[in-house]
Amino acid sequence: MSQVFDPLNLLLLAVAVVILLKLRSVLGTRTGHEKTIEFPPLDATKAPPVGARTTTPAGAADGEMPARGLPEERQPVWAGVAEEGSELAKVLQRIAQKDPSFDARHFLQGAGTAYEMIVTAFAEGDKKTLRPLLTRDVYKGFAGAIDERRKKGEELSLRFVSLDEAKLARGNLRGNRANLTVKFVSQVITALKDKEGRIIEGAPDEITVVKDVWTFTRDVTSRDPNWKLAATEAQE
């Protein structure tokens, strides 16, 4: 699909079997020449902004206001997602210095939600949902694949079973532009049928494990808290 928040994007993927063959034809594997894919923001009524801190102040139970005068205790922004002293931890700390609202754990939650939204919308041919989640060029690619599928009379069914892992792999901050790469491991059931209703790819009763790598980007000084998907990789 610069500061840290933008679902796009909030933000693409390649799903094995049908998705590996169909989604990857749109997303592909990293070659160093990928087009930027921008991710749209998640629906604020369904999920909090990706990257926003929502930790409860010390001494306050859920739903309660903290006592006056008590300082808010926060774990380091990298806690639980990166090793102390690592390059990734340093990048996350620098992002948080520029954008105090950034929280890596909530970023991962939002990225996972965006991942499922895009995979599902592509399978369903839901251009309306995809359009705000993708940059113009990437949207054209997705829309083109959907149109080609419809032209052939093919039907792609996909059931998202679970997102088993969403792990920060690497990141960098260049000026105000932050880039965070997330490794996803998910399970899906997918099948592609021709116009006669015959299965030509996948299986409607078989779970496939999918591994993808997405890179999200954001101007961390922007008032817009949403991240954008900037690149995707599919791992075997």
Q: Is the pLDDT reported for residue 78 higher than 80?
A: yes
Range of the domain at 152: 18-53+77-235
**Residue at 33 is within a domain:** yes
**Residue at 61 is within a domain:** no
Tokens 């839901």 belong to 126
**Residue at 10 is within a domain:** no
pLDDT band for position 2 (cuts 50, 70, 90): very low
Cβ(177)–Cβ(2) below 8 Å: yes
- pLDDT for 45 equals 33
Q: Is the pTM of this model over 0.95?
A: no
**Residue at 58 is within a domain:** no
Kindly give, in sequence order, each residue whose CB lies less than 8 Å from that of residue 34, ignoring residues fewer than 6 positions away: 28, 231, 232
**Range with the poorest average pLDDT among 60-64, 83-87, 128-132, 229-233:** 60-64
**Residue at 9 is within a domain:** no
Q: What is the pLDDT of residues 49-77, one digit of tens each?
A: 444 444 433 343 443 433 334 344 578 99
Residue 82, domain CATH: 3.10.450.240
- Residue range 178-196: mean pLDDT, rounded: 94
The helix (H) or strand (E) run that includes residue 177 is strand 177-193
**Residue at 133 is within a domain:** yes
**Residue at 13 is within a domain:** no
- pLDDT for 132 equals 74
Q: What is the pLDDT of residues 114-151, one digit of tens each?
A: 889 988 998 999 999 887 777 677 777 778 999 999 99
Nearest-5° angle of CA 40, CA 105, CA 207?
Answer: 70
In total, how many domains does the chain have? 1
Nearest-5° angle of CA 49, CA 103, CA 218?
Answer: 65
Using CA atoms, how far apart are residues 223 and 77, in angstroms rounded to an integer?
Answer: 20
According to DSSP H, which parts of 99-205 are helical? 104-124, 127-130, 136-151
- pLDDT for 83 equals 93
Q: What is the pLDDT of residues 14-46, one digit of tens each?
A: 333 334 344 444 443 333 333 333 333 433 333
- pLDDT for 152 equals 94
Angle between the N-to-C axes of helices 136-151 and 104-124, in degrees from 0 to 180, rounded to the nearest 10: 30
**Residue at 7 is within a domain:** no
Q: Is the pLDDT reported for residue 231 higher than 60?
A: yes
